[in-house]
């Protein structure tokens, strides 16, 4: 094939793939995740736009709280948006410090969504914490945090992760916890195989009324019954059918 003939085919394949991804993402419960970077949010507009849930960054490491957390936590609830809090794990701080910090700042509320532990690598160029810890050490810290959070909040926590961290650390472990995966260029089964997952962050360039600029968009896989089960205290991760999203 001549070099000039390859480009249109690549564009067509890319376009078809993106359409498939958008179709899959739009077929389930829609939500967002936010932090200080979204600024002041009009949660009433967010609710009116059809957003069905939100995860709000609360803490990072053992000494940082997101400056918009308290505001978002209170106003989202007042607007009727189901919301949960997440902690960004810092690999250069002891796990017990991070557990204590999260508990100090995120209240125990019966109607809150299950807490989330965000585990990913900072990246080699990061000045904050460039190292990657060994798998056994990472898994031990994650398990310690999750067990403490479940006991404290009475709900099974969820793990948020990225493709590289999943492949390095989680691929064969922690199947008992619901998994929230990030993949913005493909559907999850193309990146995470047959691993069970319940939430998918499918773009970091979403637009939602009430939020200035981009926001992460997510889908929860399941019907209303599955959602009520997830939001309750006795959620158990399930295998999507087939593998989370039906693809034709």
pLDDT, residue 222, reads: 81
Give me the average pLDDT of each 10-residue run along the chain (248 residues): 37 53 67 98 98 97 97 98 97 96 96 96 68 94 97 95 97 96 94 94 96 96 85 56 37
pLDDT, residue 185, reads: 92
Place of tokens 């399941």: 222
- Count the Cβ atoms, other than its own, within 10 Å of residue 234: 9
- Indicate if the alpha-carbon torsion angle 124, 132, 145, 233 is positive or negative: positive
> Under 8 Å CB-to-CB from 141, ≥6 apart: which residues?
89, 95, 133
Q: Strand, helix or coil at 157?
A: coil
Taking Cα atoms as reference points, which of 206, 222, 176, 199 lies closest to residue 84? 199
Q: Strand, helix or coil at 72?
A: helix
174 membership: H or E segment, kind and range: none
67 is catalytic: no
- The encoded tokens of residue 144 equal 């310690």
- The encoded tokens of residue 147 equal 């067990």
What is the rounded CA–CA span in Å between residue 213 and residue 206?
A: 8
pLDDT, residue 16, reads: 54
- Kindly name the residue from 67, 104, 120, 127 that is annotated as catalytic: 120
Torsion angle (degrees, nearest 10) of CA 9, 11, 13, 14: 160
Query: HEC states along 178-210?
Result: CEEEECCCCCHHHHHCCCCCCEEEEEEEECCCC
pLDDT, residue 232, reads: 75
What is the rounded CA–CA span in Å between residue 86 and residue 199?
A: 14
121 membership: H or E segment, kind and range: none
pLDDT, residue 228, reads: 85
pLDDT, residue 243, reads: 40
pLDDT, residue 229, reads: 86
């Amino acid at each position: 094939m001549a070099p000039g003939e390859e480009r249109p085919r690549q564009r067509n394949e890319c376009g078809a793939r993106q359409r498939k991804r958008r179709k899959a993402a739009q077929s389930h419960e829609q939500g967002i995740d936010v932090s200080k970077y979204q600024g002041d949010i009009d949660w009433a507009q967010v609710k009116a736009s059809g957003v069905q849930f939100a995860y709000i960054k609360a803490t990072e490491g053992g000494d940082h709280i997101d400056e918009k957390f308290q505001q978002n936590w209170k106003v989202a609830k007042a607007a009727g948006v189901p919301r949960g809090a997440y902690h960004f794990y810092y690999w250069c701080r002891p796990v017990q410090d991070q557990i204590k910090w999260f508990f100090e700042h995120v209240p125990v509320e019966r109607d809150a969504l299950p807490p989330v532990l965000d585990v990913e690598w900072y990246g080699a160029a990061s000045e904050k914490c460039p190292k990657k810890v060994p798998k056994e050490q990472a898994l031990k810290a994650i398990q310690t945090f999750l067990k403490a959070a479940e006991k404290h909040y009475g709900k099974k926590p969820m793990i948020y992760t990225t493709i590289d961290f999943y492949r390095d650390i989680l691929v064969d472990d922690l199947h008992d916890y619901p998994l929230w995966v990030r993949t913005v260029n493909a559907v999850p089964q193309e990146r995470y195989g047959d691993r069970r997952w319940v939430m998918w962050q499918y773009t970091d360039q979403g637009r939602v009324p009430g939020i200035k600029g981009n926001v992460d968009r997510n889908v929860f896989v399941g019907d209303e019954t599955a959602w009520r089960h997830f939001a309750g205290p006795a959620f158990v991760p399930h295998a999507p059918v087939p593998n989370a999203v039906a693809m034709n």
